[in-house]
Structure 1
């Protein structure tokens, strides 16, 4: 098209212009060279000059121009030799760098393969493939930057396989890592607990001097070992730290604390002072639980403070109904038995169909020597729920009232409720 033709014409003209400019530059450069050469030739013919150099007994005589030319040649020689040395050094550097990089690449690939072993070992561990876990973790540990994890998991997997000797070997390797002693002790203690060796676990944990404020896993293991050893006093002292660090689930800590209080309350040598100390150490939230209130009140009564125990149960029952509170109340030998009966009967208005309340009323009526009322309460409780202790209480009352046949029938009924139905077996006949 016409437009393309115009563009081509402009490009051709521009190319010609650039070529002409280049030719002019070449001409100017040649002209300068010729002028310089002519000037130098004129100066050489005009005055050659004289240069004398003497060094260590060697004398050199020449003209200024020859000396200048020699200096120029020497300078150029030095320049190109230096350039050559730089090129050679650069080539050697590149060669060595390439080798180093190839070596580093080989090491990186080798370590990556080892990391794959570690990853496979960890996956096998959490999937329960213990033998594969030990194999892969051991391979990965050879090149791992931090082989502690490999050794600890491999020790745990070896324990699951039942190979305690191999597990101990891995633990010894792990113990060589600085600051790894607590973690190694935890793995050893956990393995001992799983073998049922709570005494050994306690020795390991005590020897490791674990800090319960910063190592909740150790606190959890220590609680378990102490619980198996029935060391309830140490448990009671350890529980506050366990709660602060959330070493276990809250429900688990609550259960341990309840067992600790029950153990103290059930002791033959319980005193009001020891009981009070243990009760104050219980979590305030747990002190509101009916089950623990009943345990505490029963222990108070056994330690000689029956009236205080009765008042504690009465306050708890006024706040809310609970069969465990009523059962404990019926067993408290308060000094004012008439007042106790009045309070218990006041509960009938809202809980007349509760067998626990009727059983408690029967026992309190016995303390008031109201034999008929006690029998009525026991009978009413039995009609609502046939229980071994209710049968036994009523059987004992019938025995004292001279109704031996009914007493024997109730005792047999109590045995059946306690042990269940006996199998039908041949028995000797009475003669």
Structure 2
């Protein structure tokens, strides 16, 4: 298009000069003693134009000659960049297609622009990791981290360390990455996994809240992560009655009555010497929502008022008359209070609902205590059969 416009302009000028030469009687005299030259005005203009054009072309030629070395270098650099781009594209295609050894081979040799070279080393490291060549992977990661902005290398290293179950190493890479990108959601997700494996539950809770606010965790995963952190913190505080009570006080009420949390808390309080707290936790959870696992553990915690526990369990029995776990808990509570007749009745009712090892063992003890060794042996055999059947 530009050449067409130039051609039109030249044609217009030529026509204008032709018309001017036809109707313009003017002329130009050039005097340089002893010489004198006369020519028409149009001829002078044409000659001047040719001189200017020639000078321009000579100047362009001189500049091109002087710039020739730089032009050659730029052309070589451009070709090299094109080759590197093609190699990078080929390495990326090989990696995405699962040709990891080929991807590593190409990416490991790429040099040139620092950022692209760093990305190529990261790709080589990931490909080596897929090939289980961990030594080469680590070498590539070290090379990649020499870049001014090695975030991609640090992220790849964190993933690799997690895959190797080197959780402190993963956290080290993550912390370095967070210096470059403090609010990097993907890094936070990796950090969450590492801290879960290390049992750093307070940090897990903090990260879960951050990821929840960023919509990086769905509601179900967020709830499960929080619950796992609460369970871990409760278990970690077992034996520390004061710390356990303070932590339990801060928990949301909805979490306190969840069966798994209530059971872990009850175990922790009982192990810390506070059976009354364990009993109260189980009662609160069962009053809100029935759970056979909690009902089964209720008889294991003997508080300061075991008779009140028996009364509470018998109230539940009205609503859950065929709950074998509750019947067995009642048998345990009655045995603790030496209410042997009731204890035996509840144990028999428990195995009538569903044969279970605890019920038969309890009945074996009752029969032996009452001088019935034959029946005691029969219950022991049934308990043993149930154990073998469970395997």
TM-score bracket relative to the smaller structure: 0.7 to 0.9
Quote how far apart the aligned CAs of 1:217 are: 3.7
> Is the alpha carbon distance of 1:194 and 1:80 closer, same or farther for their aligned partners in structure 2, counting shifts above 3 Å?
closer
> Is the alpha carbon distance of 1:107 and 1:208 closer, same or farther for their aligned partners in structure 2, counting shifts above 3 Å?
closer
- 2:265–2:281 Cα contact (<8 Å) kept: no
Question: Does 85-94 or 185-194 show the bigger shift?
Answer: 85-94
Q: Which residue of the partner structure matches residue 82 of structure 1? A: 52
Distance 1:419 1:122 in 2: 55
Matched, 1:359 2:328: yes
- Secondary structure (helix, strand or coil) at the match of 1:331 reads coil
Alignment of 1:255-404 (within 5 A): 255=224, 257-266=226-235, 270-279=239-248, 286-404=255-373
- 1:310–1:329 Cα contact (<8 Å) kept: yes
Distance 2:33 2:121 in 1: 84
Q: Which residue of the partner structure matches residue 132 of structure 1? A: 102
Question: Does 395-404 or 318-327 show the bigger shift?
Answer: 395-404
Distance 1:416 1:126 in 2: 55
Matched, 1:409 2:378: yes
In structure 2, which of residues 110, 124, 127 is the aligned counterpart of residue 157 of structure 1? Answer: 127
Quote how far apart the aligned CAs of 1:362 are: 1.5
Larger-gyration structure (1/2): 1
Distance 1:242 1:280 in 2: 25
> Is the alpha carbon distance of 1:266 and 1:350 closer, same or farther for their aligned partners in structure 2, counting shifts above 3 Å?
same
> Is the alpha carbon distance of 1:73 and 1:308 closer, same or farther for their aligned partners in structure 2, counting shifts above 3 Å?
closer
> Is the alpha carbon distance of 1:248 and 1:188 closer, same or farther for their aligned partners in structure 2, counting shifts above 3 Å?
farther
Quote how far apart the aligned CAs of 1:329 are: 2.3
Post-superposition Cα deviations, 1:353-373, rounded to whole Å, max 9, x if no partner, equal 111121122222223332111
- 2:234–2:264 Cα contact (<8 Å) kept: yes
- 1:358–1:381 Cα contact (<8 Å) kept: yes
Quote how far apart the aligned CAs of 1:345 are: 1.4
Alignment coverage as a number of residue pairs: 370
- Secondary structure (helix, strand or coil) at the match of 1:376 reads helix
Post-superposition Cα deviations, 1:301-347, rounded to whole Å, max 9, x if no partner, equal 33343333333332322222111232232222122222222221122
Distance 2:104 2:246 in 1: 49
Post-superposition Cα deviations, 1:113-151, rounded to whole Å, max 9, x if no partner, equal 544443443343344332122124335565786233322
Quote how far apart the aligned CAs of 1:163 are: 1.9
- Secondary structure (helix, strand or coil) at the match of 2:116 reads coil
Quote how far apart the aligned CAs of 1:379 are: 1.2
- Secondary structure (helix, strand or coil) at the match of 1:347 reads helix
Quote how far apart the aligned CAs of 1:69 are: 5.1
Q: Which residue of the partner structure matches residue 88 of structure 2? A: 118
> Is the alpha carbon distance of 1:259 and 1:401 closer, same or farther for their aligned partners in structure 2, counting shifts above 3 Å?
farther
- Secondary structure (helix, strand or coil) at the match of 1:146 reads helix
- 1:219–1:247 Cα contact (<8 Å) kept: no
Q: Supply the RMSD in Å over aligned alpha carbons.
A: 4.5
> Is the alpha carbon distance of 1:369 and 1:192 closer, same or farther for their aligned partners in structure 2, counting shifts above 3 Å?
same
- Secondary structure (helix, strand or coil) at the match of 1:178 reads coil
Question: Does 238-247 or 315-324 show the bigger shift?
Answer: 238-247
TM-score, structure 2 as length reference: 0.73
